[in-house]
Amino acid sequence: MTHKNYRASSLLLAFLILTISLTVIAQEDEKSSVQSLKYNPEDFPSFEDNEFCLRCHSSGYFVLSDTVSGLSKRQAMCDNYNISKDNYYMSVHGSFSCTDCHSSEYQNFPHATALRFEPAFACLDCHGGDENFAQYHFEEIDAEYANSVHAQIENGEFNCWKCHNPHSYVPLARRDTLSTDFVVSSNQMCLTCHGNFEKFQLLSDKELTGIVEKHDWLPNEALHFKSVRCIECHSAQNLDILVSHNILPSDSAISDCVKCHSKNSVLMGSLYKFRVIESRKSSGFVNAAIIDNNSYVIGANRSEIMNLASLLIFGLTLFAMTIHTLFRIKKSKKQ
């Protein structure tokens, strides 16, 4: 092979390798973008209809056009109106078409201002009095909410959706595995307003105090934030429903450590309630549901077997010492 032919062959080979590599990369990209979907669009009959809305409401921007000048430009979509398609189709409401709950007039753009005043459905509008949803106790939840501080908000702006996003809601508390993610997502509901002054001031004229500073009395504060939900301390327990909705005023919140850190831990009626109801596991430990959840709560996890063994060892030691002492007294009397 001449030097020229060799160079040409090398270039050809390099080109082929590059082409093949790019093709493989492109295919991998395509594959990974398909795999990244957490849902199968074919499972959702309303998917195509919803795309009309979600092309703006899930993209982070919309295109504003002026019919007179013919100009158009991209505008950022406000976060409140952005919906994650993954979250929506994985949520309990994922099978719905947008217009099942929202006016079909939203299909006109720009949307009419009057539509903003359209009353939104509340949970009970669909779920109230329905036997299919009896296990969720919506009526009791509504009664609890009516007693909570949230219901006292003067301008009446508070509703279910302030905490439960209808476009992403999943009943995490009813899942068998209570992970840290569950606690984080539950606390995120509270922090949406209580950790964000902009959101908070939409509902209240009160001063927003720093969450971290206000809880600095908790030993190992970060671990508490990671392991328990705000509502464990900030709501009144109701044994009839899974998650208490009677949010208490801050000065009525639990601040006595022993309420959780004891054999009769209130966590068993709140954070671990579902697990307790479902499994009632007995692995020799009091409140074993906490252990099953890869957690450990000082004072609440006690092993009856270990308690018995330790009492037995202590008892035998004290018994041996008593006998020994008696013999010592006898010996000293002889002398």
Partner 1 sequence: MTEQIYFYPVWIRLWHAVNAVLCILLILTGLSMQYSDPDFVLINFGLAVSMHNFSGIALTISYFLFFFGNMFTANGKFYRLKVEGLSIRLWKQLRYYAYGYFVNEESPFPVSPQNKFNPLQQISYLLALYLALPLLFVTGWALLFPEFIINKLLGFSGIFLTAQLHIVMGFFISLFLIIHLYVSTMGASPLSNFKSIVTGWQKLH
The site for partner 1 (CB under 8 A) is made up of 217, 219-220, 222-223, 256-259, 261-264, 291, 293-296, 298-299, 301-303, 306, 310, 313-314, 317-318, 321, 324, 327-328, 330-331
In angstroms, the CA 162 to CA 119 distance is 14
Q: Which is nearer to partner 1, 193 or 260 (CB)?
A: 260
Q: Which is nearer to partner 1, 19 or 294 (CB)?
A: 294
Q: Which is nearer to partner 1, 152 or 264 (CB)?
A: 264
For the bound state, the minimum distance from the C-beta of residue 217 to partner 1, rounded and expressed in Å, comes to: 7
* Paired sense of beta strands 72-76 and 302-303, if any: unpaired
For the bound state, the minimum distance from the C-beta of residue 330 to partner 1, rounded and expressed in Å, comes to: 8
Q: Are the C-beta atoms of residues 175 and 92 closer than 8 Å to each other?
A: no
In 3D space, the residue among 23, 159, 165 whose CA is nearest the CA of residue 94 turns out to be 165
β-strand partners of 75: 62
CB atoms within 10 A of CB 167: 21
Q: Which is nearer to partner 1, 13 or 320 (CB)?
A: 320
For the bound state, the minimum distance from the C-beta of residue 294 to partner 1, rounded and expressed in Å, comes to: 4
Q: Rg of the chain's alpha carbons, rounded to an integer?
A: 31
For the bound state, the minimum distance from the C-beta of residue 282 to partner 1, rounded and expressed in Å, comes to: 16
Q: Which is nearer to partner 1, 171 or 299 (CB)?
A: 299
For the bound state, the minimum distance from the C-beta of residue 261 to partner 1, rounded and expressed in Å, comes to: 5
Q: Which is nearer to partner 1, 50 or 293 (CB)?
A: 293
Q: What angle do CA 162, 168, 172 make, to 5 degrees?
A: 90
In angstroms, the CA 202 to CA 155 distance is 10
For the bound state, the minimum distance from the C-beta of residue 296 to partner 1, rounded and expressed in Å, comes to: 5
- 3-state SS record for 148-216: CHHHHCCCCCCCHHHCCCCCCCCCHHHCCCCCHHHHHHHHHHHHHHHCCHHHHCCCCCCCCCCHHHHCC
